[in-house]
Amino acid sequence: MKPLILICSRDYEFYLLLAQILNMTGFEPSLVEGAEEALAGVKSHDLVALIVDYHSDAFHISDLVSQIKEALADKTPPIAVFVGAGNQQLYLEVLKTGVSEIFMRPFNPERFLSYLSDLSPDASGKSCMKRTLGNTLIYAEITMHLDSMRVDCDGLDVQLSPIEFRLLQHFLQKPGYVFSRDALIEAAWPQGTFVEPRTVDVHVGRLRRGMRRVLGRDIIRTVRATGYALDERQSAERAS
| Statement to judge: residues 104 and 172 lie in one domain | no
Q: How far apart are CA 72 and CA 120, in angstroms?
A: 21
| Statement to judge: residues 235 and 146 lie in one domain | yes
| Statement to judge: residues 63 and 82 lie in one domain | yes
Q: From 123, 142, 159, give the residue that closes a domain.
A: 123
Q: From 98, 123, 148, give the residue that closes a domain.
A: 123
- pLDDT, one tens digit per residue, over 143-160 is 888 877 889 887 788 888
* Predicted pLDDT at 98: 81
Q: Please tell me the least confidently modeled range out of 18-22, 85-89, 90-94, 162-166.
A: 85-89
The CA-atom distances, in angstroms, between 112 and each of 51, 186, 203 are 11, 12, 24
Report phi then psi at 7, rounded to 5: -120, 115
| Statement to judge: residues 90 and 176 lie in one domain | no
Highest-scoring range by mean pLDDT, 40-54, 95-109, 124-138, 200-214: 200-214
- For residue 200, name the pLDDT band (cuts at 50, 70, 90): very high
Domain membership of residue 10 as a residue range? 4-123
- pLDDT, one tens digit per residue, over 219-233 is 999 998 889 999 866
| Statement to judge: residues 74 and 158 lie in one domain | no
- pLDDT, one tens digit per residue, over 159-168 is 888 899 999 9
| Statement to judge: residues 151 and 100 lie in one domain | no
| Statement to judge: residues 111 and 139 lie in one domain | no
| Statement to judge: residues 12 and 98 lie in one domain | yes
- pLDDT, one tens digit per residue, over 6-56 is 999 988 999 999 999 998 888 999 999 888 888 888 877 778 899 999 886
| Statement to judge: residues 14 and 105 lie in one domain | yes
Q: From 75, 101, 123, give the residue that closes a domain.
A: 123
Specify the pTM. 0.55
Burial of 28 (0-12, 13-18, 19+ CB in 10 A): middle
| Statement to judge: residues 68 and 147 lie in one domain | no
Work out the percent of the chain whose per-residue pLDDT is above 90. 24
- List the CATH number of the domain containing 203: 1.10.10.10
| Statement to judge: residues 93 and 160 lie in one domain | no
Mean pLDDT of the chain: 82
* Predicted pLDDT at 58: 63
What would the mean pLDDT of 89-99 be, rounded to a whole number? Answer: 83
* Predicted pLDDT at 93: 84
Structural domain count, the chain: 2
Work out the percent of the chain whose per-residue pLDDT is above 70. 87
| Statement to judge: residues 216 and 159 lie in one domain | yes
Q: Is the pLDDT of residue 104 over 70?
A: yes
What would the mean pLDDT of 79-92 be, rounded to a whole number? Answer: 82
- pLDDT, one tens digit per residue, over 48-78 is 899 999 886 667 888 888 888 888 877 788 8
Q: Are 210 and 164 in contact (CB under 8 A)?
A: yes
Q: How far apart are CA 138 and CA 180, in angstroms?
A: 22
- List the CATH number of the domain containing 47: 3.40.50.2300
Please compute Rg for the chain using Cα positions. 18
